Amino acid sequence: MKLTVSSRTIAIILSLLVAAVLTTLAWLAPTMPFQQGVLAAGVSVAACFLLLYLMFEALIFREINNIYESLENIKRKEFRRMSNKFLFRPEPLKRMRDEILDMAQRRQQEIEELKRLQVLRREFLADVSHELKTPIFAAQGFVHTILDDDDVDDFTRKKFLQKAATSLDALDALVQDLVTISQLEKGVVRMRRQRFNLGELVQDIFEQLEMKAAQRQVTLELQLPQAQPETTLVVADRNRIRQVLINLIDNAIKYGRENGHVTVSLLPNGKSLRVQVQDDGEGIPKQFQNRIFERFYRIDKSRTRESRQAGGSGLGLAISKHIVEAHKSTIRVRSELGQGTVLEFKLPKPKKRVADKLADAQA
């Protein structure tokens, strides 16, 4: 049970003790030799110092300790009694002031981050409603046209139904991308890492996208390491990395120059393999380069129309960013106006097995 004593009571007790010490000294000093008197005076000074120190400890430092303890509880988000670790430490007021300033700075940063996230949430909701509205209204228009007009011939009916189906497919792709990015942000999706040849995967993606590249007369090129072109093995989730590369290469084809060139380079970098996707398009201004990985963010409206016509959901780069970060890497962008854009990230190479090391030693 903690004893609570008021400051007035402590002051009275202290006054009585100091008076007793001084009275005793005044009573004994005349009868003492000089040396004993000096010793008694020293003892009296020490006793008064101890009393004053205890007073400060009881009145001031105790309250400082309580405030400091509350600050520690807030910092640790724990609402339990803590042992007094602040007692007898030098400069308690300075330490407490520094703690308060540090906490105020952190709280201000948290408030600013919350405000930023609130703005992003509003923008995200506005973007989602806009992106969902477009295919829904398109499908509704085609279906209601057929329902409202009984004289529509079979050819027109089939054409309108195909367009409605295309809009619904775009809507389904958008919803799937939203689910994917939500799962990636929550950490629900686990990366199934395996050993595979990244060069072969890029070649498969080139075959998948060659029709789209041919429409814009874009040449696709894969650059492998010159010394050992077959050493493009990595350890990663093959399906997810395939999704990343499709997004990056598809963007390079769409936003690169017509009759242009898209190059995928696989470059050894110590224990990792650096993947670069480069186009020769208009480039991205510096002020927009940090935002291209945000959900639904596009630099201008023309890109929005082009992406929608090409079937893009506006989430490809955001999904790619999360997948790469789940592989403990980062997508970096390098771009200059008029000189194209380079997007790159790294993937770990498999560790050499004992048999491989022996073969290298024999060679």
Summarised one tens digit per residue, pLDDT across range 301-352 is 444 445 444 445 567 888 888 899 889 899 999 888 888 899 999 999 988 7
pLDDT score of 295: 73
Asked if residue 109 has pLDDT above 80, the reply is yes
Q: State the pLDDT at residue 363.
A: 46
User: Quick one: pLDDT at residue 92?
Assistant: 58
3-class secondary structure, 204: helix
How far is Cα 214 from Cα 72, in angstroms, rounded to an integer? 64
In this predicted structure, the answer to whether residue 264 has a pLDDT above a threshold of 90 is yes
| pTM of this prediction exceeds 0.95 | no
For position 8, what pLDDT does the model report? 64
More confident call, 82 vs 226: 226
| pLDDT at residue number 316 | 80
Which pLDDT score is estimated for 37?
64
| Positive or negative: CA dihedral 211, 215, 216, 218 | positive
Average pLDDT over the chain, rounded to whole?
76
CB of 289 closer than 8 Å to CB of 274: no
pLDDT value at residue 195: 92
133 exposed, middle or buried (CB, 10 Å; 0-12, 13-18, 19+)? exposed
Q: With 80 as the cut, is the pLDDT of residue 163 above it?
A: yes
The pLDDT value recorded for residue 142 is 85
| Closest listed residue to residue 211, CA positions, set 156, 271, 253, 273 | 253
Residue 163: closest CA among 127, 133, 137, 132: 137
pLDDT of residue 106: 80
Write phi, then psi, for 360 (nearest 5 degrees): -65, -40
